[in-house]
Amino acid sequence: QSALTQPASVSGSLGQSITITCTGTGNDIGGYNFVSWYQQHPGKVPKFLIYDVSQRPSGVSNRFSGSKSGNTASLTISGLQAEDEADYYCCSYTRSSTLVFGGGTKLTV
């Protein structure tokens, strides 16, 4: 159950777009479309952002989008806003019927 691999940090300017990658293996991301993303502001509870690779829960801005290719999932945030500055975590279902998170990516706007 090794953690999924995410870049430690990414940065972007207001209004720009950024992409955060999340790399796993065929036993998790590559084997299933049960990939999700969570946003966590400092000192706050995580927020559910994306499920089923690319679906947004009700109430989540359409500036957030997800995709997957092979063993790598991606989260793209378009039209960056100051409030997007946070930590982002990917998560995948695994062959062992467990879940595994990525190490997290700190987004600086």
| Interface region with another protein, contact rule CB under 8 A, candidates 13-21, 43-51, 64-72, 78-86 | 43-51
Q: Choose, by CB under 8 A, the member of 16, 69, 103, 108 that binds another protein.
A: 103
CA Rg value for the chain: 13
Q: Choose, by CB under 8 A, the member of 10, 19, 34, 67 that binds another protein.
A: 34
Q: Choose, by CB under 8 A, the member of 40, 61, 72, 78 that binds another protein.
A: 40
Distance from the first to the final alpha carbon of the chain: 32
In the complex, the smallest distance separating the C-beta of residue 107 from another protein, rounded to whole angstroms, is 14
Longest dimension (CA), the chain: 41
> Taking Cα atoms as reference points, which of 100, 86, 87, 88 lies closest to residue 35?
100
Count of C-beta atoms within a 10 Å radius of residue 2:
9
> Any contact of residue 64 with another protein (CB under 8 A)?
no
> Any contact of residue 31 with another protein (CB under 8 A)?
no
